[in-house]
Amino acid sequence: MAVRKGLGRGLDVMIPNKIAAPLPEKEPEKEQNTEQKKPAESTVTAALQAEVPADGTLMSVDILKVDRNKQQPRKKFDENGLEELADSLRQVGVLQPLLVVKKGEYYEIVAGERRWRAAKLAGLKEVPVIVRDLTAQEIDEISLIENLQRQDLNAIEEAQAFKRLKEEHGMTDDQIAEKVSKSRAAITNSMRLLKLDNRVQEMVIDEKISMGLARALLGVEDSEKQYEMAQDAFDKRMSVRDVEKLVKQMNAPKKADRKKQDLTQYQLQFDEYAGKMAEALGVKVAVTLKDKNTGRLEIDFYNTDDFERLYDRLK
């Protein structure tokens, strides 16, 4: 397994990374001490046994007793890639054990679901596994790190995995960043993708639009408009720069709107003056602006005496 420098400290201890010979055919089982943790030597190759963590057990198990982890970050598997791996497994078997935890009579996969799927396609009856006792948080961390190391997760799956670590295990963005050797900003920006409309997220998963283009669409608050723009970007093969430009244009206030907004500020000031005049004159006073410099002043009067009184005051 190719491991990127810095990722998943301690993961190599959890998951062997040396290629070993296929497991030998089973021999008749010998009488074992029931308290002994390791399986019979005949089911474990010496090369693999040397890689097993101190708290792990390496063994070969019935493939039907192995089940996927429903919380595993990776949701999509390339069918063509699985078929190619299955062809290889038919020839040499599963060389790298799956990492699993015991769940009653079954074993739940922590790392190695792709190998397990391919082994089923290849018609294998048994697979090598390393059984470990792990907490729910450790399982999530290992599953996430393994997929990140292989670059198997799409942007949405990665964001969902980070969100699980944060919400279900109480980890901060800084703690997650340290675990996966990414910056805090990268973790935060990744999880922002989950604010996208679900249909847009599916387009990212299906690789119809890129992560960069999806990030540009975060600037569109209306979900329907966001989805329409995503479809338009896909149909017209638009670049990230094209989408960013459209979003900026859409969010920019129109010239008329800006003028109206500016005029509203001036109107508030003149309304204040009109209120003071009305208080001094004892009648209703209104100011209507045409622009920031011109407008109309209206002073109400209710009879001729009232008009003469106002005339004398203003004169």
On whether both 109 and 80 belong to a single domain, the answer is: yes
Q: What is the dihedral of CA 99, 173, 154, 14, to 10 degrees?
A: -10
> Does 221 lie in the same domain as 127?
no
Catalytic annotation present for 202: no
Q: Do 16 and 121 have their domain in common?
A: yes
**Helix (H/G/I), strand (E/B), else coil: 15:** coil
Tell me the per-residue pLDDT of 201-252, one tens digit each, with 9 for 90 and over: 999 988 899 888 999 999 998 999 999 999 999 999 999 999 999 898 888 7
Query: Are residues 15 and 118 both part of a single domain?
Result: yes
pLDDT in tens, 261-297: 666 777 777 777 777 787 877 788 787 877 767 888 8
From 81, 104, 134, give the residue that closes a domain. 134
pLDDT at 256 over 60: no
Q: Are residues 212 and 304 in the same domain?
A: no
Q: What per-residue confidence (pLDDT) applies to 111?
A: 84
181 domain-assigned: no
Residues 117 and 19 in one domain: yes
Say which range, 49-58, 121-130, 242-251, has the weakest mean pLDDT: 49-58
My answer on whether 222 and 295 are in the same domain is no
Does residue 28 belong to any structural domain of this protein? no
- As separate numbers, helices (DSSP H) first and strands (DSSP E) second, the chain gives 14, 7
Angstrom CA distances, 46 to 53, 90, 158, stand at: 14, 22, 36
The pLDDT, as a whole number, for residue 272 is 77
Evaluate whether 140 touches 168 at the Cβ level (below 8 Å): yes
- The answer to whether position 113 is within a domain reads yes
The answer to whether residues 226 and 260 belong to one domain is: no
Q: Which residues are registered as beta bridge partners of 98?
A: 129
Residues 19 and 127 in one domain: yes
Domain membership flag for residue 198: no
Question: Is 141 inside a domain boundary?
Answer: no
Indicate yes or no: pTM above 0.75.
Answer: no
Q: What is the mean pLDDT of residues 120-136?
A: 88
Q: Structural domain tally of the chain?
A: 3
Q: What's residue 46's pLDDT?
A: 34
Determine the structural domain holding residue 268 and report its residue range.
255-314
Contact of 8 with 146, CB cutoff 8 Å: yes
Residue 64, C-beta contacts closer than 8 angstroms, at least 6 positions apart:
none
Is the distance from CB of 101 to CB of 136 less than 8 angstroms? no
Residue 34: pLDDT over 50: no
Mean residue pLDDT of the chain comes to 76
Give the relative orientation of helices 155-167 and 136-149 as an angle to the nearest 10 degrees: 160
In a domain, 180, yes or no: no
Single out the catalytic residue among 51, 108, 113, 146.
Answer: 113
At position 263, the amino acid (one-letter code) is L
Q: How high is the pLDDT of residue 229?
A: 93
The CATH number of residue 112's host domain is 3.90.1530.30
Q: How many CB atoms lie within 10 A of CB 203?
A: 23
